[in-house]
Amino acid sequence: MEMASEGAKVVVVDPGDNSVAAQVCEEIRAAGGEAVPCMESVTTMEGGERIIQTAVDNFGKLDIVVTCAGILRDRMIFNMTEQEWDDVIAVHLKGTFTVVKHACILFRQQRSGRVITFSSESGLVGNSGQANYGAAKSGIAGFTKVVAKDMGRYGVTANAIAPRANTIMIGDIPDSAAEIRARSGVAAIPGEDLLTELDPSHIAPFICYLASDYAANVNGQTFLVYGDTVSLMSQPRPERSIYEPSGHWDLQTLVPLARDVLTAEVSNPAPPTLPRE
């Protein structure tokens, strides 16, 4: 909606529920914008290509691609099934690739374009019970950095957003699962104030900024966006190093330096707990 209000012609993709994409398109058109729905899946190369082709067929060109398709299959790592792993990786990580790859074919030819992907704090810092989702979102952050370097020479930028937002995807988590996570201290059940802060509409203006000419030199970055806050995330880089003058470590010389210097200020994000009776 925000992109359309700024003049963009929009392809709304949602293969899960045709009525959702159609409703969004109706709202955009009612407000004077242009939009078409697309029911293709991002999980196949053919689907990704057809999504891009839908934009070209209807509007003549493609300037911006925003990849925010997602599902959740939360489970502790020791209980997660192969199918739960594969489903999340297919939608988030592969789905980002299938769309961005075909968009970049056009962007390279026209020597312009904007790629905006969706990562997550679950991938950047980790979140219990989300090994599949965290792996996918961490992969998307890395993927985006590489796309930025591949495509920058063609006048294309690629940036990632890690949103805090209450979406349909979050709503798919069973109430019982949310309650169990809250009781275990993994995540709190959100109150009204938090739900207001997590309204997805807070994310939209920054997407528009990254898609605009104002952000022409912003490339390969990750941003945390929620409520009234936008944060530029730090890039991974060496924080502290130790060296062995001989050029070869052995365990006896490594242990004291690794323990007392390299990891001296490192804390365990999940320290052991006593078993419940």
10 Å Cβ neighbour count for 159?
Answer: 25
Active-site residue, selected from the candidate residues 119, 122, 133, 226: 133
Least Cα distance to 48 among 18, 1, 4, 13 occurs for: 13
Amino acid at 226: Y
CA neighbours within 13 Å on the CB side: how many for 36? 11
Active site residue 101: no
Active-site residue, selected from the candidate residues 41, 120, 122, 138: 120
Active site residue 133: yes
* Cα separations in angstroms, 173 against 90, 101, 160: 19, 30, 24
Active-site residue, selected from the candidate residues 9, 41, 119, 137: 137
Q: Is residue 43 within 8 Å of residue 66, measured between CB atoms?
A: no
Active site residue 119: no
Q: Is residue 37 within 8 Å of residue 12, measured between CB atoms?
A: yes
In angstroms, the CA 129 to CA 74 distance is: 6
Q: Which residues are catalytic?
A: 120, 133, 137
